[in-house]
Structure 1
Amino acid sequence: MKRKIKTMEEFAEVSGISRPTISKYFNDPESVRRSTRDRIEIALEAYSYRPNIFAINQNRKLTKTIGIVVPYLADPFFAEIVRLMERRCMDAGFSPMIFSAHGEQRLENDALAALQSQRPAGALIAPLGRHSDFDSVRHFTEEVPTVVFDSNVKVGEAFVGSDSFQSIPLIVDYLCRSGEPPCFLEMPPVNPNANKRRDAYTLAMERLGHDPKVIRVDGKGWDFERIGMDEGMRLISNKELPSETVLCSNDRLAIGFIAAAYQQGLRVGHGAGCALRVAGHDDHPWARFTCPPLTTVAQDYSAIVDRSVEKLFDLIENGRTQEERPEVLIECKLVLRSSA
C-alpha cells in the first residue's frame, strides 16, 4: 500500500528533494527551477500529499491570505461584493478567507480575532458601523493592512464606497421632475450610510425648493424586507404617508414596501391607475425582479471591488505611502424601472 505522507519532512524524504526546496516551492512555485518543480509536482501526485496551508502561513513573514469581513453575508448586496472580491484575490494568487458578523458586535470581534490569528497579508472589511466595537476594529487595522469599504468607519489605510451625496440627489431630482416630490422612508440606521442618505435627501429637497418629509419606522437588525412590509402596511392603513412618492433608504426596504402596497390593494407604478411610486437605492440583485421592477440608483459593484482590491494590493506591496487616509467615492447611476 502507498505510504501515507503527513508532514513536509516525510514528503522530502520520499521525494528525495530537500525540505528547504520544497518549502520554497510552496511559498512561490516560480522561485524553483522548472526541472525541480516538475519533480515536486510528480511526487505530489504520486503520494497524494497536500501541505497544511495554515501551518505554512504561520511560518511565513508574509502569508498569502486575505481576509474579507462583511456585516451580513446573507444580504445579496454583500454576497455579490464578496463574490467579486474573492475572485479578484484568487486571480492574484491570494487565498481569501471570508467572515460574516451576522449583524452582531460580538461576532464581528470574533471574526477579526480569528482572522488576525492567521497573520493575513491584508484585509478588506465592511464594519458594522455604529454597532461595531470601535477599539477592536481599530486595533485590528493597526496590526493588519486594511482597506475599508461600504461603511466609512474612520479606520484602516483607505476607504472605498459609493457617494451618497451624488446618488441621492440624482434620484430625488428625477422623482421631483416626474411626479410628486418624494418622502423618505428609513429605519433606525445600522451603519453610517443610512445617515448620509437621509442628510443627502434633505439637502436635495431643500435645493429644489421642497420641504423634506422623513419617515422613520420602527425596526432593528438586518431583516429589512420584513420591516419594510410591516411598517408599510401600517403607514398605508393609517393613511400616514405624506406623499404618493416614497423613496426608501435602501432597496431591501423598498422591496418590503412594495409587498405592503400589494397586500393593501394599491398599484405601484408610474401612470394611470397607479396609487404609489416607490424607489430605492443600491440596485440590489433582486431589484429588477420585484413586481413592478424597482426604480433605484445602482452602486457600481465592480468599481467598488476593483478600487478596494487595487488599494489593498498596493498597500501590501509598498506599505503606507500617504500621510492622509484616502477616501475613494464611486458615483452611482440612475436606473429607471416600472415602480417609479
Structure 2
Amino acid sequence: MATMKDVAQLAGVSTATVSRALMNPEKVSPSTRKRVEDAVLESGYSPNSLARNLRRNESKTIVAIVPDISDPYFSEIIRGIEDAAVEHGYLVLLGDSSHQSHRESSFVNLVFTKQADGILLLGTDLPFNASKAEQKNFPPMVMACEYDPELELPTVHIDNLTSAFEIVNYLTQMGHNKIAEISGPGTAALVNFRHQGYMQALRRAGINMTPIYQVSGDFTFKSGATAMNKLLNMSEPPTAVFCHNDMMAIGAIQEAKRLGFRVPQDVSVVGFDDIVFSQYCDPPLTTVSQPRYEIGRQAMLMMLEVLRGHDVRAGSRLLETRLIVRDSVSAPRLV
C-alpha cells in the first residue's frame, strides 16, 4: 500500500504539503495541487478520508435537493455546483425530491447525522416545517434559483419581476396588445414575481389586463400545450403568449402548430430560462437567459462561506439576466 510519504516523493513536496493539498486544497497553489493529485493517482494512494473528515467533524459532502431532476433547467445549475465543489474538495449528493416532503426529509437527515455538511435548495420548499423564529437553528443551508422573502436564508437568484417585465415589454413594443400569460403553479414564489412583471409591462403600455388570458400550468411541456389549446380556442385568442418557462413555451408552440396556427405569424410565443432546447425548437424561442451555471457555482461558494463560519447575509446575491431575441416573435397580423 502506498503511503503519504510515497506521494510526497513523487510530487517533490513535503508530506505536510500533501496533507494540506488533500485536506484543504484551497490552501495550496493550483500547480502544487495538481502535482499531488497526479502523484496520488500514480502511486495508488488511498487516504482514509472518511476517518479524517470524522475527526474534523465534517464529511466534505453537500446535499443538493432538486425538485425535479428530469427538468433540463437544473442541468447547468448542477454543473456549476459540481465544478465549484470539486475545486474545493467537496462531493455533491443529488437528491431528487420529486416535490415529495418525505423524500426531502431523508436528505436532511444526512446533515443531522453528520453524513453531509450542508444543504443546497434548488426550489423554495423547505424540507421540513419550521417557523421564522426557528430558522436560526437550521443546518447550513443556501437557496439557489428562487428567492423567498419569507425565508431568511443566503440566496443566489435573479430578478424575476424585472426580467418578466422586460420580455413582456418587448412584446408590447412589437405592437401586441392581446398578450396572454401561461404561469407556473402559484405555490412557487417566482411565479408571483413573474406575474407582477407581466402586469407592470401591460400597465406601462396602457393595456387592460384580460383575466381569461391568464392560464396556469406546472412548468411541463404538456401543461404548456394544454394551456395554449385553451387560449387559441377562445372567440378572441391572444396574438402573443408569455410563458413562465421554456418547457411550457415549447409545448405551447407545438400545440399552436397542431391547431393550424403559424408561429410567429398568427401567434407569438416567448419563454423564460433559455434551456438548451429553446434554440433548437421550431421556430427558435425568444426567451430570458438565466446565468444558470453561475447560479450553481455561486450557491456552492456561498455554502463554503457558511461552513467556514463567515457571516453570510441572509437574503440574496443577485445575478443578471439577458433578453434573447430569436424567431418566435413578430408584429401581430393586421386584420
The TM-score by the shorter chain falls in which range? 0.7 to 0.9
TM-score (normalizing by structure 2): 0.78
Give CA deviations for 1:51-81 in whole Å, capped at 9, x if unaligned: 5644543332233222222211111111210
Structure 2 match to 1:183 = 180
How far off is 1:292 after superposition?
Answer: 0.4
Instruction: State whether structure 2 residue 201 is matched by structure 1 residue 204.
Output: yes
Contact between 2:25 and 2:88, CA under 8 Å: does it hold in 1? no
Against the structure 1 CA distance between its residues 188 and 115, is the aligned structure 2 distance closer, same or farther, given a 3 Å change threshold?
A: same
Aligned 1:25-36 pairs, distance under 5 A: 27-28=23-24
> 1-side partners of 2:26 and 2:226: how far apart?
58
Alignment match of 2:110 (pick from 111, 114, 119): 114
Structure 1 match to 2:273 = 282
Alignment match of 1:193 (pick from 190, 193, 196): 190
> 2-side partners of 1:155 and 1:300: how far apart?
23
Greater relative CO (CA pairs within 8 A, separation 6+): 2
> 2-side partners of 1:163 and 1:140: how far apart?
24
How far off is 1:124 after superposition?
Answer: 2.2
Instruction: State whether structure 2 residue 112 is matched by structure 1 residue 123.
Output: no
Against the structure 1 CA distance between its residues 321 and 173, is the aligned structure 2 distance closer, same or farther, given a 3 Å change threshold?
A: closer
Structure 2 match to 1:268 = 263
Structure 1 match to 2:158 = 162
RMSD: 3.7
Contact between 1:58 and 1:119, CA under 8 Å: does it hold in 2? no
Name segments (4+ residues, structure 1) moved above 6 Å.
41-46, 136-141
Contact between 1:141 and 1:155, CA under 8 Å: does it hold in 2? no
> 2-side partners of 1:290 and 1:149: how far apart?
27
Aligned 1:56-205 pairs, distance under 5 A: 56-129=52-125, 133-135=128-130, 142-153=137-148, 154-155=150-151, 157-181=153-177, 182-205=179-202
Against the structure 1 CA distance between its residues 43 and 92, is the aligned structure 2 distance closer, same or farther, given a 3 Å change threshold?
A: closer
How far off is 1:195 after superposition?
Answer: 1.4
Question: Percent identity over the alignment?
Answer: 26
Give CA deviations for 1:182-232 in whole Å, capped at 9, x if unaligned: 221224335211111112211221122111235444655x5x101111232
Task: List gaps (5 residues or longer) in structure 2.
Answer: 7-15, 28-34, 330-335
> 2-side partners of 1:137 and 1:241: how far apart?
46
SS in 2 for 1:110: helix
> 2-side partners of 1:228 and 1:78: how far apart?
19
Contact between 1:147 and 1:158, CA under 8 Å: does it hold in 2? yes
Contact between 1:100 and 1:111, CA under 8 Å: does it hold in 2? no
Structure 2 match to 1:213 = 210
Against the structure 1 CA distance between its residues 260 and 159, is the aligned structure 2 distance closer, same or farther, given a 3 Å change threshold?
A: same
Give CA deviations for 1:102-137 in whole Å, capped at 9, x if unaligned: 2222222222223443443433222343x8644299
How far off is 1:235 after superposition?
Answer: 3.1
Contact between 2:183 and 2:217, CA under 8 Å: does it hold in 1? no
Count of residues in Structure 1 that have an aligned counterpart in Structure 2? 312
Structure 1 match to 2:224 = 228
Against the structure 1 CA distance between its residues 138 and 226, is the aligned structure 2 distance closer, same or farther, given a 3 Å change threshold?
A: farther
